[in-house]
Amino acid sequence: MPRGRPRKCDPEVVLRKAMTLFWENGFDATSMNDVAVATGMAKPGLYECFGDKNALYAKALKLYFKEYGEPGLQCIRASNQPVSTALRQYLENVAAGAGDPECPSGCFIVNSIIGSAQSDSEIKDLIRDIINQRLDVLIEYLSVAKEKGELTAETDPEALALYFAGQEAAIAVLAREGAEPEKLGKFIDIAMKTLPQVSAEELAAGQG
Amino acid sequence: MPRGRPRKCDPEVVLRKAMTLFWENGFDATSMNDVAVATGMAKPGLYECFGDKNALYAKALKLYFKEYGEPGLQCIRASNQPVSTALRQYLENVAAGAGDPECPSGCFIVNSIIGSAQSDSEIKDLIRDIINQRLDVLIEYLSVAKEKGELTAETDPEALALYFAGQEAAIAVLAREGAEPEKLGKFIDIAMKTLPQVSAEELAAGQG
DNA sequence: TTATTTTAATACCGATCGGTATTTAAATAG
DNA sequence: CTATTTAAATACCGATCGGTATTAAAATAA
């Protein structure tokens, strides 16, 4: 046991709770007092643990990306499944997160993009970094799929990556509107029709 | 000329300016003082003309829908062009509005959806009404197109309408991220590939 | 025990918020 | 001219904001 009075609250638990508050209500509508009441950690403790409100928000956003964003990207990166399967799973994972009844609806990152106009520059940079990471993973994955012959020669990996990034945003907004999971499923069915896939026979012929 | 001291500011101009402030910065980050300074109408005048802050926001959102939402819906309703042309124009109109350098980026309605968690019930109802109006127009249009044989018999008009509503949200978020118009154009190209269109020959054969 | 360290808890700071009462200015009616 | 009407302009209200100084409590070290 360390020297002084023991902590009442686990900072990790506090940060997770702060994340859900910012996710649900946004930066402005979540006061430090709200966080203090919801977490049980008094305001001076919050400032000591996390810095000021901007720093707390940035840490919450990083935690969100680590928990809800990176795993999906990692699945894409490591996927050895057909491109349509991998990308469908990717969007279904997004829909599962955005529509999870245990969490605020929608996507904290999308919410932050919308509200970023008056964010401080550290937060803007963080958002930009997250957006670019996601786009780069999608571009890389689609480029490889094209090289492997799974996607037609006319495929534009960058444009298609932006399309899928847009589908994530769409799912987040629709979930925030209250769209049921079943409707999000149908949405994904339609969104996946855009893939310029090479058929299995063509692929076999091309590789043989 | 009416009886008393003449108005310094045209309320319509003031409301339009308030609209751009709320559109750019959102409800919480736009203070009544900000509106007063930006418009030249002092705070008591704002309250006398528009009611409280919630009422001003609601009026600004209604103005936005009238100027940026309804014309596009009217085009869809009145369209006698091929379904792919009409819907492409619809999305291009959305992209033009969301990416207009003269205005805040993105879509005020999408921003309001994201921020609606802590809105008062009048604003929530207004947002819900706008969403439903748009969806109803799309469903009706797609249903008619299916009946006319322009879309395949397997087409689900409700699901496809939600898809297009989602594309609007996607375009709004991508524009808010700073996506250039050219990239939004490519996005629309891909998004339009989902249409389960009947070919011109099939359509002629079916009608003949 | 007593001193020290670390945190919790309370109270408080100036600034800003949404909203309004009051006073001043600009027009018309008589 | 004076009275009246309407709006502008200023000042102000209590509440809440982000952030902090201060005090009280709970642990260890001696």
How many C-beta atoms lie closer than 10 Å to residue A78's C-beta? 9
Map A26-51 to HEC letters: CCCCCCHHHHHHHHCCCHHHHHHHHC
Out of B173, B186, B194, name the one closest to residue A159 (CB). Answer: B186
- Per-residue pLDDT reduced to its tens digit, B131-172: 999 999 999 999 999 999 999 999 999 999 999 999 999 999
Residues B80-92 have a mean pLDDT of 95
Q: Report the gap between the CA of A186 and the closest CA in chain B (Å).
A: 6
Distance (Å) from the alpha carbon of B23 to chain A's nearest alpha carbon: 10
Q: Which single residue has its CA nearest the C1' atom of nucleotide D6?
A: B4
Q: What is the rounded distance in angstroms from the CA atom of residue B20 to the CA atom of residue B102?
A: 10
pLDDT at residue B208 tops 50: no
pLDDT tens across B109-138, in order?
A: 999 999 999 899 999 999 999 999 999 999
Q: Which of B193, B28, B38, B47 is nearest to B112 (CA)?
A: B28
Q: Is the pLDDT of residue B91 over 50?
A: yes
Q: Are B126 and B61 in contact (CB under 8 A)?
A: yes
Chain B environment of A160 (Cβ under 8 Å): 190
Instruction: Fill in the DSSP letter of residue A197.
Output: B
Q: Measure the CA–CA gap between A156 and A141, rounded to whole angstroms.
A: 12
Decide if B188 contacts B179 (C-beta within 8 A).
no
- Taking residue A202's Cβ as centre, other Cβ atoms within 10 Å add up to 12
Helix locations, B65-156, DSSP H = 70-78, 83-98, 108-114, 121-147
Residue B111: partners with Cβ closer than 8 Å, 6 or more residues away:
A114, B23, B26, B172, B176
- Which of B160, B173, B177 is the closest to A173 by Cβ? B173
